[in-house]
Amino acid sequence: MSTQNQPSGNGDTPAPGNGKSNSDHYILVADDEAVMRQFNTRALVCSGYQVDTAVDGDAAWKALQVVSYGLLITDNQMPKVTGVELLKKCRDERMTLPIILATGTPPVAAESLRFAAILVKPFTLEELLGTVKAALQGQMPTNTTPTLRRCARRLLVYEAGSPKTAGAKGSAAGRVFEQLREPLINLMGMDGYCSLFSRVLTLAGAEIPWVRGLETTADGSLQGLQELAAKLDSSAIAAGGELLTTQLLGLLVTLIGSAVTQRLLQSIWPKMDGLDL
């Protein structure tokens, strides 16, 4: 596998000493065809991305255990582990990175697999770069955006009308995130939770710039929302809160499925109706 902007494709797994990158510009390209690895890598590196490559699905899976990538681009028909199998392994492990399937023959029922996008080979340089940009900068992870937005609005309206909890400081979005924090940490661990929220902030920040000023603390709390709320008008805060909540719900549906996400929401807000996802 190539590392640090070096466009080669030897498929070696990165050494543990390389550490983990949190950059959304750090991409793993998995393909058993050397020509495709080189095409994708050179195009991405020349566009400012940092790229590693893997020669098959097994090598890609090993790389994903060592490095936190911002995006995976994978072929489907590869030795040892296919692209579809790789996607399922990532979701089983609650990995939150978007995954693009680049393949000559899309699998049956590809839409239900919830790839961020599907690139059908042969594709152009412009198609590759445009798809990568969309996957990294705010594209919703499922095709259920209207439903997710309605659910997000209901949660925020409900929380806006509920008694203010200690430490919430009046922010409906802040209370939603705070109530979800402990059950999500129990579900996916602290690392998985922080990775999830980092992805939420990246996706929402691509659409609403002020969201980029938010961050998560070491214990998984969302920091900066109340401070920003004091500087912005109510409509801007409402739009940001809705987008953050929608992105969170979308990623949860992608990672753990709509049924489990719905049960999680109903366990926290048992008196609310209309949380169908």
User: Does residue 6 surpass a pLDDT of 50?
Assistant: no
Task: Please tell me the CATH superfamily of domain 16-136, with its number.
Answer: Response regulator (3.40.50.2300)
* pTM for this prediction: 0.62
> Please, where in the chain does CATH 3.40.50.2300 lie?
16-136
Residue 265, pLDDT score: 93
Residue 277, pLDDT score: 74
Strand 222-223 with 215-216, pairing: antiparallel
Average pLDDT over residues 231-259: 84
Average pLDDT over residues 222-232: 77
Residue 95, pLDDT score: 79
Mean model confidence pLDDT for the chain: 80
Which tops the pLDDT comparison, 255 or 99? 99
* 28 neighbors 54 (Cβ within 8 angstroms): yes
Residue 172, pLDDT score: 85
